[in-house]
Chain A
Amino acid sequence: MNRDLNSVWEKVIEDIRPTVSEGHYGTLLKPAVLSSIEKGVATVKTSSPIIINMLRERLVKDIEKKLEKYTGEADISVVFVPGAPMVGAKVKKRNDDGKTPLFTPESDEKKLSSPTIGHLPRVRADYTFSNFAVSGSNQLAFVSSSTVAKNPGTSYNPLFIYGPVGVGKTHLMHAIANEVYIKNPDRKIIYLTSEEFTNEVVEAIRNNDTARMKRRFRSASLLLIDDIQFVEGKEKVQEELFHTFNILIDKSAQIVLSSDRPPQEIKKLEKRLSSRFAGGLAVDIQAPDFELKTAILLIKAKKFGHELPIEVAKFLAEKAEDTRSLEGFLLRIITEATTTNSPITLEMAERAIGGMFEEKREHLHAEDIIKSVCEFYRIKSTQLKGAKRDASFVKARHITMFLLNKDLGLTLKDVGGILGGRDHTTVMHGVDKIENMVDNKTDYFGDIVGIRKLFRG
């Protein structure tokens, strides 16, 4: 519909163009937008009331006549409304979608009711309890997390969540942070991965400034550390963690940890630490069952702004092994639906996903994806795998991580290995970032479609 209106408007103004000065065309007609035609009333958006006065005075009759000609409707009357941005107004180029630390665009323009959590560092505001799909495999983890979020520091301390990749550990941790933050924005909440924790400790020791680091962690009222298993074998870090841990528990600040295995199974972990980890509540999340996978699909599809028919969701849930590949399938289908402009049906899903499986098994290799990304961005694969952090390389690298993980179904660890031995959390960050961008309909979406075209032929 939108496209129709645009093309009608273009025809209208091209017809009027020869009859007015180029100045009138450029200032009055070109920037205006035909936003709707309903029951003989056409609404045209322009940037300012003064422009509306000018249009009304000299061009309204012509516009109405041409609109009648191109829509075939009789007796169209035009209403001008202000609302389009000023022409030539300063528009800063940026790719953060208008997000600022104080407000996110959704928070003020779409969902006025949902609280802003934009400025909780490192925590994704869209990971909340309300959009976490619950079923038998993760119910215990969900319930204990929400209990902790309601009464931080008093119920289960520490809360230790463990389970395989892609089951929602990070989602729950972010949800706890968000929930605590909404209730009391003044609480000091620190969320970080164990790798970042390690880095801070190392940095502090190197700069001979451990006091500051200690102060920072020990003043937290909620400390969340993701992927704690990576402190394995790092003695100094474990020691720091141990002391921080004791102080926080003493002043009943809440600690939440996540790991891919239970505390006792983390090797090279000091006894005193592993016993403390297990001292609160350790809950596990199992790989999602069929029903949960279906539910997750429906939730995610909604997030992307699409309605997914239940039979398609079931079909996808059967095919996918973990939640991350679910998302890959879903994205694939949505891309297919938007590019071909057709509704999502079971046939279409079978075609799209079926194709994906064949390609994956028969001839799609990691090198193909890397080659396509390099070709698309015109960079060398050594640059892609290298350490340089130029913006263009970083973007290409993240997209590669995303594609390797989603389209090829490689594990984060393997992806890291292929890309010059990067850590799996780095890869996770990259994949998350792109995922985030794709939700937001940036031009990343177009890039990904383009790259996929390259490696799928």
Chain B
Amino acid sequence: MKTKISIKKLQEKLPFINRAVSPKSQLPVLLNILLEAKKNNLRIASTDLEIGIEVDIDAATEEEGSVTIPARTFIDLIGSLSEEEIVLEEDRETLIIKTKKTKSVLQTIKSEEFPKLYKNKGNKIATLDAVLIKKDFSSIIFASSMDTTRPALSGVLIKKEEEGFLLVATDGYRLSLKHHKIKGSNEEETENIIVPSRVFRELLVLKEDSEEINVYTSKESSQIIFEQGKTILIGRLIEAIYPDYKKIIPTDFSSKIEFDREEMQRAVKICSIFARDSANIIKMSLSKDKIIISSHTPQTGENSVEVDAKLSGEENEIAFNARYLQDILGGVEEEDMIFEMTGPLNPGVFKIKDDNSYLHLIMPVRVQN
């Protein structure tokens, strides 16, 4: 193969491609990326077997062909170049990379060794607004589990609804739920699917000009594909039964309090300093016109911060893991939030004011006093 491409374009795309390169693998080809030159196009692909990424870049190809090269070296090399264009040319078992003033030679592995990422895209299940879906994913994704001993919890549940999709993430200690609305009504036939949260984490850092994301699933190969502009992200579906999240969502509450998210976030941040050495526990005391956030560590000291708030219902107290509070307060963008609770042992629920499409629930920490 022989092709010519813009270095700037490459520099833009390679960091994302790098996210699917295995940091280490027994299989040498997984440390490589695949280059596939077609007439006006260079396709670059990477995979760590769990996810795959495929990006198309405009190119002027003289000779079509494909080859794999060591990802790390190539990415570092391109990152250090400041010229405009490079020429990639295959020469027996090497790839020669030339700019006006530099020449590098990389060892290759045959492209046949590189795994096929997908057979076909499958059925299109939705076209999503990139900005909105990424915002919604950010507001739920942190609640999913990093631990894969319970596969279902390491993923996000996507459930078809009349007006869009319901997204649910939980690690068993907290749960996020968001009704994502799409334009028009959702007529596609879709079963409930569970998608590894890692796929969404990658999707969140994907930068493309296109404002639409096409989503495809293939039941047969149990894969999900997100396509934004010229980038494709391939993930697997998790085959598991999602826990019955509905029955743990409280239907009633005895205290409801309104507060400002940023003010609360600052308060939690301050208190988490004093919670650091005592299991990260932060206490919230709800009273008529304020929430008092407090923490203490016997050997260090203690502090408390007041947050203005408006209470309806009874005064109450509850304690949470500070990290969970930081996650939810940092996960949403809206400023006016609501917190609802029934007692110090029942889950506390965070909502966004005047928006019933979102809910975040956290299991409190039981504190002895």
Where the two chains meet, the residues of A that have a C-beta atom closer than 8 Å to any C-beta of B are 21-24, 26-28, 47-54, 57, 82-83, 85-86, 89-92, 94, 98-103, 105, 107-109, 112, 115-116, 119, 121, 185-186, 188, 203, 207, 209, 212, 219
Instruction: Flag if A185 contacts B147 (CB, 8 Å).
Output: no
Are A54 and B115 also in contact (CB < 8 A) when A102-B363, A121-B345 are?
Answer: yes
Q: In the assembled complex, which residues on chain A have CB atoms less than 8 Å from the CB atom of B149?
A: 91-92, 94, 98
The 10 A-B pairs with the shortest beta carbon distances in the complex, nearest first, are A100-B172, A108-B243, A23-B27, A26-B26, A23-B26, A103-B243, A89-B148, A101-B363, A53-B116, A92-B147
Contact of B363 among A89, A105, A119 (CB under 8 A): A119
Give which listed residue, B117, B173, B244, B347, contacts A112 with CB less than 8 A.
B244
Query: What residues on A are CB-neighbors of B313 within 8 Å?
Result: none
Choose one: A24, A54, A100; the contact of B116 (CB below 8 Å).
A54
Distance in angstroms between the alpha carbons of A425 and B153 in the assembled complex: 36
Q: Is the CB of B250 within 8 A of A107?
A: no
Whether A101 pairs with B119 at a CB distance below 8 angstroms is no
B27: A residues at CB distance < 8 A: 21, 23-24, 26-28
Sample of 10 further A-B pairs with CB below 8 A, known A54-B116, A108-B242 = A27-B30, A48-B50, A50-B116, A53-B119, A82-B239, A99-B172, A100-B171, A108-B152, A112-B244, A116-B244
**B111 contacts chain A at the CB level, 8 A cutoff:** no
Closest Cβ of chain A to B350, distance in Å, is: 15
For A107, give its contact among B153, B244, B251 (CB under 8 Å).
Answer: B244
Instruction: Tell me if B1 counts as interface (CB < 8 A to partner A).
Output: no
Q: Does B366 contact A (CB under 8 A)?
A: yes
Given contacts A50-B117, A186-B250, contact A121 B171 (CB under 8 A): no
8 Å CB contact of A50 from B115, B240, B241, B248: B115
- What are the residues of chain A within 8 A of B151 when measuring CB–CB? 85
- Which B residues between 100 and 142 are near A, CB-CB below 8 angstroms? 115-119
Q: Shortest Cβ distance from B325 into chain A, in angstroms?
A: 16
Tell me the nearest residue of chain B to A105, going by C-beta: B150
Min CB–CB distance B33 → chain A (angstroms): 15
Instruction: Determine whether the beta carbon of A86 is less than 8 Å from that of B50.
Output: yes
5 interchain pairs (CB within 8 A)?
Answer: A48-B49, A50-B52, A86-B50, A90-B146, A100-B171
Using an 8 Å CB-CB cutoff, how does the interface string of B44-72 with A read, 1 for contact, 0 for none? 00010110100000000000000000000
Query: Which of A48, A51, A53, A89 has most chain B Cβ within 10 Å?
Result: A48
A residues in contact with B152, CB < 8 Å: 108-109
- CB of B369 closer than 8 Å to a CB of A: yes
How far is A66 from B49 in the complex, measured between Cα atoms in Å?
25
* CB-based contact A186/B252 at 8 Å: yes
Enumerate B194-235 residues with CB–CB distance to A below 8 Å: 221-223, 234
Shortest beta-carbon distance, A26 to chain B, in Å? 4
Residue of B whose beta carbon sits closest to that of A207: B369
**B366 surroundings in chain A (CB, below 8 A):** 121
| A interface majority secondary structure | loop
In whole angstroms, what is the CA distance A207 to B247 when docked? 38
Contact B49 A27 (CB under 8 A): yes
Assess whether B49 is in contact with A50, with CB atoms less than 8 Å apart: yes
A185 to B343, CA, bound (A): 11
With a cutoff of 8 Å between Cβ atoms, the chain B residues found around residue A219 in the complex are 343
B148→A91 contact, CB < 8 A: yes
Minimum CB distance partner of A30 in chain B = B26
Query: Given A24-B27, A27-B26, are A102 and B147 also a contact pair (CB < 8 Å)?
Result: no
- Chain B residues, Cβ within 8 Å of A26: 26-27
- Of A24, A86, A103, A109, the residue contacting B240 (CB under 8 A) is A109
A82-B236, A90-B146 as given contacts; A185 in contact with B172, CB under 8 Å: no
Contacts A50-B117, A102-B363, A108-B243; A188 near B343 (Cβ below 8 A): yes
CA of A186 to CA of B26, assembled, Å: 53
Expressed in whole angstroms, the minimum distance between the Cβ of B199 and any Cβ of chain A is 12
A105–B248 Cα gap in the complex (Å)? 14
- Determine the chain B residues whose CB is within 8 A of the CB of A48 once the complex forms: 49-50, 236
Contacts A85-B151, A89-B148, A116-B244: A102 and B222 contacting too (C-beta < 8 A)?
Answer: no
Distance in angstroms between the alpha carbons of A99 and B118 in the assembled complex: 35
Which listed residue, A50, A121, A186, touches B47 by the CB 8 Å rule?
A50
B300 close to A (CB within 8 Å): no
Cβ–Cβ < 8 Å partners of B346 in chain A: 185-186
- Contacting pair A103 B172 (CB below 8 A): yes
Contact A115/B236 with A49-B221, A90-B146, A108-B242 known, Cβ cut-off 8 Å: no
B185 at the interface (CB under 8 A from A): no
Chain B residues near A186: list those with CB within 8 A: 250-252, 254, 342-343, 346
Chain B residues whose C-beta falls within 8 Å of the C-beta of A94 in the assembled complex: 149
B31 CB, nearest partner CB in chain A, Å? 10
Instruction: Say whether B291 faces chain A, with CB atoms less than 8 Å apart.
Output: no
A49 touches B236 (CB 8 A): yes
Complexed CA–CA distance, A207 and B369 (Å)? 9
Residues of B within 8 A of A107 (CB): 243-244
A51 touches B49 (CB 8 A): yes
Q: Which of A49, A52, A98, A119 contacts B150 (CB 8 A)?
A: A98
Across the interface, which residues of B come within 8 angstroms of A92, CB to CB?
A: 147, 149
Interface membership of B328, Cβ < 8 A: no
**Residues of chain B lying within 8 A (CB to CB) of residue A203:** 368
Most buried by B among A52, A89, A112: A89
Complex interface: chain A residues within 8 A of B50 (CB): 47-48, 50, 86
Flag whether B175 is at the interface (Cβ < 8 A). Answer: yes
How far, in angstroms, from A50 to B221 measured CA to CA in the complex?
9
Cβ-closest chain A residue relative to B248: A102
Q: Which residues of A contact B242 (CB under 8 A)?
A: 108
Residue B25 at the A interface, CB < 8 A?
yes
Which partner residue on chain A sits nearest B145 by CB separation? A100
Residues A22 and B26 in contact in the complex (CB < 8 Å), given A91-B148, A98-B150, A100-B173 = yes
B173: contacting residue among A85, A89, A101, A212, CB under 8 A: A101
B28 CB-CB contact with A under 8 Å:
yes
- Judge whether B239 and A116 touch: CB under 8 Å: no
Q: Which residues of A contact B117 (CB under 8 A)?
A: 50, 53
CA distance A109 to B254 in the complex (A): 32
Complex: A115 Cα to B342 Cα, angstroms: 20
B170 within 8 A of A: yes
In the bound complex, residues from chain B placing their C-beta under 8 Å from that of A53 are 115-119
Q: Are B241 and A109 in contact (CB under 8 A)?
A: yes
Given contacts A53-B116, A185-B346, contact A103 B148 (CB under 8 A): no
Interface residues of B in 154-189 (CB under 8 A from A): 170-175
**Given that A47-B49, A86-B50, A186-B252 are contacting pairs, would A23 and B147 also be in contact in the complex, using a CB cutoff of 8 Å?**
no
A90 to B153, CA, bound (A): 13
Identify the interface centre among A53, A90, A105, A219: most chain B CB within 10 Å of its CB. A53
**In the docked arrangement, what's the CA distance between A31 and B150, Å?**
18
Give the chain A neighbours of B237 by CB distance below 8 A: 82
Q: Look across to chain B and name the residue whose beta carbon is closest to the beta carbon of A27.
A: B27
Nearest CB to that of B170 among chain A residues?
A102
Whether the pair A101, B241 counts as a contact (CB closer than 8 A) is: no
* Bound form: Cα–Cα A234–B137 in Å: 57
Give the shortest distance, in Å, between B249 (CB) and chain A (any CB).
10
Chain B residue nearest to A25 (CB atoms) is B26
Q: Which residues of A contact B240 (CB under 8 A)?
A: 109
A contact residues around B222 at 8 Å (CB)? 49, 82
B25 touches A27 (CB 8 A): yes
A residues within 8 A CB of B52?
50
Complex interface: chain B residues within 8 A of A51 (CB): 49, 115
Residues on the B chain within 8 Å of A89, using CB: 148
